[in-house]
Amino acid sequence: MRILLFCLISAFIASSSVLADTSAALGSKGLISVKSNHNVRSTADKLINVLEKKGMTVFARINHTEGAEKVDKVLRPTELVIFGNPKVGTPLMQCRQPVAIDLPQKALIWEDDKGTVWFSYNDPTYLSKRHNIKGCDKVITKISHALSNFSRAATKSE
């Protein structure tokens, strides 16, 4: 019994430290981050490819690392992809118009100080709470599933 209890406690501590590492990597409430199996550029390329196949509009791809270089600063690989679809965004704004400040959707693809690449995006449930959105659970769920699928497609190996 003691051995089983020790194993369970050890497993819990190990999983808690992994969660703490992930939370520390995020550094921000309301973000979902998924570890990528690719470098930043490849992850962003894969994301844009899947977005375009799904009929989403890609508004911009911002390479923050290149921007930093222009002012003689060093920044680990960091890219932001801004994308959306009015078929999904408009119903969300109809629920609570101020949510538009967080639209269109954004995916931040970045490398941490250990060389791990992350795909981070705003948690739709958090946005729902932030903007006090009521009665739009179907829209929030649809967005959550779409973002999860996009992150998986961009970060996982074939």
Read off φ and ψ for residue 77, nearest 5 degrees. Answer: -50, 125
In a domain, 117, yes or no: yes
Q: pTM score, two decimals?
A: 0.82
Strand order in the sheet with 57-63: 31-35, 117-122, 105-111, 78-84, 57-63
Domain tally for the chain?
Answer: 1
* CATH at residue 109: 3.30.310.70
| Cβ neighbours for 21, distance < 8 A, ≥ 6 positions apart | none
In a domain, 52, yes or no: yes
Structural domain harbouring 35: 30-155
In a domain, 1, yes or no: no
In a domain, 2, yes or no: no
In a domain, 65, yes or no: yes
Yes or no: say if 119 and 33 are a contact pair by the CB < 8 Å rule. Answer: yes
90 residue type, one letter: T
In a domain, 8, yes or no: no
Per-residue pLDDT of the chain (158 residues; tens, 9 = 90+): 444 333 434 443 443 333 333 434 456 789 999 999 999 999 999 999 999 999 999 999 999 999 999 999 999 999 999 999 999 999 999 999 999 999 999 999 999 999 999 999 999 999 999 999 999 999 999 999 999 999 999 999 87
100 residue type, one letter: A
| Cβ neighbours for 7, distance < 8 A, ≥ 6 positions apart | none
d(CA 81, CA 47): 8
In a domain, 88, yes or no: yes
In a domain, 81, yes or no: yes
Cα distances (Å, whole numbers) of residue 47 to 40, 73, 124, 142: 11, 27, 18, 18
